[in-house]
Amino acid sequence: DTSMTVTVIGLGPMGRAMAGAYLDRGYEVTVWNRTPARADSLIARGAHRATSVAEALTANTLVVVSLTGYDAVHAVLGQAPSAALTGRTVVNLTSDTQDQVRRAATWLAELGAVQVTGGVLTPPPGIGTPGAMSYYSGPLEAIETHRRALEVLTGIDYLGEDPGLAALFYQIGIDMFWTGLLAYLHGQALAEANGISAQEFLPRALNAMDLRYFLEFYAPRIDAGNHAGDVDTLTMGAASLEHVVRTAQASGVDVSLPTAALDLFRRGIAAGHGGNSLTSLLGILRKGVG
């Protein structure tokens, strides 16, 4: 599809960045947002303001949706008569669980619309910049049809036909993102409690967060079911985490994060994996048992 027209529904920071990227590329952009004032700066730049969801949907075949979650998706799309959705390609870049995403895809399909699911892997300032990526899943044909328009926003990492896949991979990534950033923040709290500034700590933090070697080491062993303790053991890890908890205590820093990690190691040891590798904790993480 070479027509450079698109509707953007949902003008939070992400939706505004997306509508802005389309305007930058010369697209004709129609926008709708529950709080109309959020569209003002885009209207000033030449976007059309839809006064209803139905008007926004019927304006263009390609509809990009960026809302807080799928409750909002249903609250918004449900405002239009279902005929307004027929024939639309709804590129839903709203975050939610894979089940919610699949249900919405089925609902839209019943109305004669196609949902393309996306999970955006960049903050709003990254939209429209080289290197930005999103996970996509859903009908490949629809993605190919609108590839040019999608790539105005970010690159495409296509995961497969199942609409839930983009949501699943996105949530897994966000799981790691928040716990990983909290690990950084906890390290910085320890540094700060000992008079070390964030800037001074930064090169060491970058080094500590660079886990590539370990991921590449463990992934094939996990797939092979090899949790041998030839390089690391849970017993060693627990002793090491006890030192961390004591260091945090002595520094007056909250211990909930390393304590949660230590608790997982202890559960692994109690389940008989003391002599096995960190990866033997997967059994505990998957089922809550050893």
Shortest distance (Å) from residue 90 CB to ligand NDP: 14
Quote the least distance from Cβ 53 to ligand NDP, whole Å: 9
Instruction: Spell out, one character per residue from 162 to 201, where the chain touches ligand NDP: x when CB under 6 A holds, - when not.
Output: ----------------------------------------
The identity of residue 260, as a single letter, is A
Q: Are 117 and 172 in contact (CB under 8 A)?
A: no
Transcribe 239-280 into DSSP letters.
Answer: HHHHHHHHHHHHHT---HHHHHHHHHHHHHIIIIITTS-GGG
Does 11 bind ligand NDP (CB under 6 A)? Our answer is yes
How many residues make contact with ligand NDP (CB under 6 A)?
22
Distance CA 90, CA 108 (A): 8
Residue with tokens 């990690």: 261
Residues 102-161 that bind ligand NDP (CB under 6 A): 120, 123-124
Tell me how far apart the alpha carbons of residues 85 and 200 are, in angstroms, rounded to a whole number.
54
Asked if 155 and 131 touch (Cβ cutoff 8 Å), the reply is yes
Q: Do residues 104 and 119 lie in contact, with contact meaning Cβ atoms separated by under 8 Å?
A: no
Q: Does 233 help bind ligand NDP (rule: CB under 6 A)?
A: no
Q: How many of the other CB atoms lie within 10 Å of CB of 277?
A: 24
Nearest CB to ligand NDP, comparing residues 60 and 92:
92
Decide the pairing of beta strands 133-137 and 155-158. Answer: parallel
Site string for ligand NDP, 18-37 (x = CB under 6 A): ---------------xxx--
69-98 residues near ligand NDP, rule: CB under 6 A: 72, 75-76, 93-95
- Structure letter (DSSP) for residue 50: P
Map residues 50-69 to x or -, x wherever contact with ligand NDP holds by CB under 6 A. Answer: ----------------xxx-
In the complex with ligand NDP, the residue whose CB is nearer, 10 or 237, is: 10
Question: Of 38, 49, 221, 266, which one interacts with ligand NDP (CB under 6 A)?
Answer: 38
Least distance in angstroms from the C-beta of 133 to ligand NDP: 11
Q: What is the DSSP letter of 121?
A: -
Which residues of this protein are in contact with ligand NDP, per CB under 6 A? 10-15, 33-35, 38, 66-68, 72, 75-76, 93-95, 120, 123-124
